[in-house]
Amino acid sequence: MATSISHDTLPRPSFDRPVKVLIVVSPYYREIADELLAGARAEIEATGGTHETISVPGALEVPTAISIAERMSNYDGYVALGCVVRGETTHYDTVCNDSSRGLTLLGLQGLCIGNGILTVENTEQAVVRAEAKGQNKGGGAAAAALHLIALTRKWGSPKGVGFLPTENERFARSTSA
């Protein structure tokens, strides 16, 4: 059982200027989503950062929403939240694999994303993982995004890995920050 295993966590990063994070949540399982959100928001606020939250219909839409936000806004990072519970069909596998793959591809392009989309066998597992006072996977996803933002700020501008923003996108970001 996972509760008997000790987990190490990195110290919370600190920032010389506040971070701005977009939380994208699929509230299909509302109680689970609310717990994930509570954990994520608390973690971001603990660093002095700000956040906005948007909702999308399901886990498959989370990567698309993050991609759109990256192109059209000025967030430092993103937190993906939701829950997929195994059902009777293979749809579970598709949703788990494709939402995770989408987030991974965005991350490889240079986006700072914490993946807090739970993939579980039943709602009991989801509750244990989501509770902000328990395993706090929402807070863990926010912490992952924050650590990636800290690395990005430490290392500076991208060197050509992934897709670089156009001149207009760079100008828009510099004037809106």
Structure tokens at 78: 């993103």
Strands (E), the chain: 20-25, 50-55, 77-85, 113-120
Please give the Cα distance from 59 to 57 (Å, whole number).
Answer: 7
51 labelled catalytic: no
Do the Cβ atoms of 78 and 112 come closer than 8 Å? yes
Residue that is written with structure tokens 């500076």 in the block: 156
163: exposed, middle or buried (Cβ count in 10 Å: 0-12, 13-18, 19+): exposed
Choose the catalytic residue: 7, 51, 91, 147.
91
Q: How many CA atoms lie less than 13 Å away from 83 in the CB half-sphere?
A: 26
Q: Which residues carry out catalysis?
A: 91
